[in-house]
Amino acid sequence: MPNSPAILMFIGEEYEDLEVWYPKLRLIEAGYQVVCAGLEANVVYKGKHGYPCRSDAAIRDQKSSDYVGVICPGGWMPDKIRREAKVKQLLQEFHADSKLVAAICHGGWMPISAGIYRNVRTTGSLGIKDDIENAGALFLDQEVVVDRHFVSSRKPDDLPAFLLGCLEVLGKSTRGELLG
């Protein structure tokens, strides 16, 4: 689908397998192109459970203007790539443009490090609840939280609700509706 709207998804070693593959395949089914970007292009990264995912591109080469949103999967990967200046820059740009910023489980570490969760209602793994609150966000223990262009969920069991939230926000943004 060369003219399909594109979604950026961060990828790296020890990602949570389901939190990459379920959204990736579901978004492709919904007509989106999904670009998995890692620290390096064309590298096979292994998930926490050993499932491989090849990066389509390097994070450093990405422009937020090429995408309608970004997915931040969990696992141990977010704690590593959230330290990259380009990851934080991209997330800040997605937020500034009111584009989808979606995080599941420990993926919330990335928007936290980008400084974009202040005054946002969100959720994530209970393991990062303190980090979310210390970032100035309101933590809600719910399967999905949609706040404007932000979508968040707690764990792999929440993936169906997470994707419905993502598709809701993407539907509004692609129709040009306000996300307030």
Encode pLDDT of 114-167 as tens digits: 999 999 999 999 999 999 999 999 999 999 999 999 999 999 999 999 999 999
User: What percent of the chain is modeled with pLDDT above 70?
Assistant: 94
Q: How many CA atoms lie within 13 A of 85 on its CB side?
A: 0
106 is catalytic: yes
Q: Does a structural domain hold residue 176? A: no
Q: Report the SS3 class of residue 70.
A: strand
Q: Give me the domain span that covers residue 45.
A: 6-170
Helices (H), the chain: 17-29, 77-81, 85-96, 109-114, 129-134, 159-174
Confidence at residue 169, expressed as pLDDT on a 0 to 100 scale? 97
H/E stretch holding 139 reads strand 138-139
Distant-in-sequence, close-in-space partners of 94: CB < 8 Å, separation ≥ 6: 64, 67, 69, 70, 100, 101, 149
d(CA 22, CA 28): 10
Q: Does a structural domain hold residue 68? A: yes
What one-letter code names the amino acid at 59? I
Residue 3 predicted with pLDDT over 90: no
d(CA 45, CA 51): 8
Q: Does a structural domain hold residue 175? A: no
Q: Does a structural domain hold residue 79? A: yes
Q: What is the CATH number of the domain that holds 123?
A: 3.40.50.880
Task: Judge contact between 94 and 179, C-beta under 8 A.
Answer: no
Q: Does a structural domain hold residue 73? A: yes
d(CA 20, CA 15): 7
Catalytic residue among 49, 95, 106, 149: 106
- Residue 173's pLDDT band (cuts 50, 70, 90): low
Q: Does a structural domain hold residue 143? A: yes
Give 101 or 3, the one with higher predicted confidence.
101
Q: Using one digit for the tens of pLDDT, what is the confidence trace for 69-117? A: 999 999 999 999 999 999 999 999 999 999 999 999 999 999 999 999 9
Could you give the C-alpha distances from 58 to 89, 106, 165, in angstroms and in order? 14, 21, 27
* Tally of domains within the chain: 1
Task: Judge contact between 154 and 136, C-beta under 8 A.
Answer: no
